[in-house]
Amino acid sequence: MNNQANKPHLITAAIQMNSQQNIEKNVTAIKAAICDASHQGAHLVVLPENCCSMGEQFATAERFDALSATIADYASTYGVYVLAGSLPCPYRPDGVIVPDGRLRQVSQLFAPDGTRVARYDKIHLFTATVADKHGSYNEAATFEPGTQTVVATVESNHAAYQLGMMVCFDLRFPALAQRLRQAGADLLSAPSAFTYLTGQAHWSLLLRARALDSQCMVIGAAQGGDHVYKNGDIRQTWGHTTITAFDGTIINSYEDSELNNAINKDNKNYALILATLDKQTQQQGRQKMPIFDCHRLA
């Protein structure tokens, strides 16, 4: 008998995309990626931030409910959990319209039966000056920050896993990762659209650091490549989708920003990496270094 097969484990898939402003094409890529991941045995599929559109936030927000329903349907069709990286939403979790003409940046988890398990509204909004073509970034001009941390249950192989939900800029705040672990998280989702320069400098380091902070697997599904906006602007994202183990080691990664290269041999409009969370091994690692028993400041 294969003892490894009987150990609690969760097969995760992280998707890298190069979303443009054609929502239909992006949704087609999402469907193909979920189908592919399901056929490869994934139980949980994590899509990147802004998976349905890079830019055009208000136009995309008008379709929030319809796009959410479409992704939920894909989860049901292919029998997997799907983390819809992020979608702009015009209303708060209680249904109240976001004031001041802003939106919420929302990450959602859908179960294999298509039901929505959880909604997380991005807490930390990207504010930075970057030496790229875009220059200044201020998400708070478009979005209102969320206020609630979220840990959701993912079930697989007769075991339950607790997923702590983050989005992109959240990775820079170790207290969030630690709070999610304290709330029971086994793994953290980090759908992202890091700029090329900030990603080149910090992406891998941040994923590994948050894994070490929390002793959780961290799933970094990313946007990568050039994104051409309708006004002619071009935004460059770093890509390099990566899944990191609880001890800070990189389990699997897609080592590029662009999709059409030798790594992506089939020239798909997405890239896919897989990793398995062995809950027993992770728990043993936590017991060997029980940092949360020693934590004194929070």
Tokens of 20: 């443009």
Tokens of 121: 């509204």
Q: Which of 297, 282, 122 has its CA nearest to residue 217?
A: 282
Cα 232–Cα 256–Cα 163 angle in degrees, nearest 5: 95
Q: Which of 162, 165, 177 has its CA nearest to residue 215?
A: 177
Backbone conformation region of residue 78, classed left if phi is above 0, alpha if psi is from -120 to 50, else beta: alpha
In terms of DSSP H, where are the helices of the chain?
3-6, 23-39, 57-61, 64-78, 174-182, 196-214, 279-288, 291-294
Contact 208, 180 (CB under 8 A): no
Instruction: Write the DSSP string, 90-154.
Output: SB-TTSPBPSTT-BEEEEEEE-TTS-EEEEEE--SPPEEE-SSSS-EEEGGGTBPPP----EEEE
Name the one residue in this structure whose structure tokens are 């992280």: 14
Rg (CA), the chain: 18
For strands 250-253 and 242-244, give the pairing.
antiparallel
Contact 42, 285 (CB under 8 A): no
Residue 82 has phi, psi (to 5 degrees) of -125, 125
Give me the active site residues, please.
49, 122, 168
